[in-house]
């Protein structure tokens, strides 16, 4: 029998569910994949309900140093629950952490999707040209990708260099006027964590090319990694000049 697992990270929830059926007993309200996932919901990534987690008597809780708050994880450890905390800052680390997670959750063999994801990214051809971008991930206030982020590494491997990669903060707050003045080749607008849409986002950047992209393929590390290069490249290529 696999261990009883609660996942507090949406992308890792998907990875566990498809790799070790029956292991997951709980997940956050934001865990939307795979479709129809039937487990107990334990709150949000930033505000899980410890009582709901403990009531499931998990053998293991899966977390992430960026997605989850240390005080919540500490409370679970103090209650005697083992917590596995992942750290993902680039694609190679994501692949290693995914292997570690599914193994800890009881996978007897390496999942086929993980092998496919590793091949996809390892064999990715060098981009023909490079593009500069700003990548908002929130508005009110405006926040963008900064240094040392998984999404930034994904874009860099696709030929997109975001202009705040050298900022001291990982997700800096930058005023809209400064973002416009940076004059990027492209503004990349994902649909999560903030849900940018054709009507909500591009209007803030008149005169700049805007690409609406799948947040799941840009920010999730899991089975979506197998399709991410193709899905994102199509969205980025489809922006009119």
Residue 154: name the closest of 7, 11, 9 by CA.
Answer: 11
Reply yes or no on whether the pLDDT at 209 is more than 80: yes
Kindly tell me if the per-residue pLDDT of 137 is higher than 80. yes
pLDDT bracket for residue 158 (50, 70, 90): very high
pLDDT at 128: 85
Q: What one-character-per-residue DSSP string does 132-196 give?
A: EEE-EEETTTTEE--SS-HHHHHHHHTTEEETTTTSSSSS-B--HHHHHHT--SEEEEESSSS--
Average pLDDT over residues 29-41: 94
Instruction: Check: CB of residue 24 under 8 Å from CB of residue 12.
Output: no
Percent of the chain clearing pLDDT 90 (strictly above): 95
**What's the pLDDT at 240?**
57
Segment 55-108, tens digit of pLDDT: 999 999 999 999 999 999 999 999 999 999 999 999 999 999 999 999 999 999
- The pLDDT value recorded for residue 237 is 85
Q: How far apart are CA 185 and CA 206, in angstroms?
A: 13
Question: Residue 2 — very low, low, confident or very high, per pLDDT cuts 50/70/90?
Answer: confident
Of 140, 232, 133, 154, the C-alpha closest to 194 is: 140
Cα separation, 1 vs 4, in Å, equals: 9
Segment 126-138 mean pLDDT: 94
Burial degree of 60 (CB within 10 A; 0-12, 13-18, 19+): buried
Q: What is the mean pLDDT of the chain?
A: 95
Stated pTM of the model: 0.93
Indicate whether 8 pLDDT > 60.
yes
Cis bond before residue 193 (omega within 30° of 0): yes
Give pLDDT, residue 241: 53
Confidence check: pLDDT of 186 > 60: yes
């Amino acid at each position: 029998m696999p261990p009883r697992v609660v996942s507090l990270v949406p992308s890792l929830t998907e990875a566990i569910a498809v790799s070790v059926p029956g292991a997951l007993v709980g997940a956050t309200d934001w865990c939307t994949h795979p479709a129809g996932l039937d487990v107990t919901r334990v709150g949000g990534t930033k505000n899980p309900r410890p009582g709901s987690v403990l009531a499931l008597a998990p053998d293991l809780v899966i977390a992430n140093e960026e997605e989850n708050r240390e005080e919540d994880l500490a409370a679970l450890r103090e209650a005697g629950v083992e917590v596995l905390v992942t750290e993902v800052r680039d694609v190679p680390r994501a692949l290693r952490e995914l292997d570690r997670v599914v193994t800890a959750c009881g996978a007897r063999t390496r999942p086929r999707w993980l092998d496919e994801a590793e091949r996809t990214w390892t064999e990715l051809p060098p981009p023909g040209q490079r593009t500069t971008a700003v990548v908002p991930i929130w508005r009110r206030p405006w926040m963008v990708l900064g240094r040392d982020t998984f999404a930034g590494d994904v874009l860099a491997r696709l030929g997109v260099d975001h202009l705040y990669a050298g900022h001291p903060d990982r997700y800096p707050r930058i005023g809209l006027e400064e973002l416009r003045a940076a004059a990027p080749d492209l503004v990349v607008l994902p649909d999560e964590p903030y849900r940018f849409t054709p009507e909500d986002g591009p209007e803030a950047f008149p005169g700049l090319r805007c690409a609406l992209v799948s947040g799941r393929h840009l920010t999730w590390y899991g089975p979506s990694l197998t399709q991410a290069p193709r899905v994102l490249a199509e969205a980025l290529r489809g922006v009119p000049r």
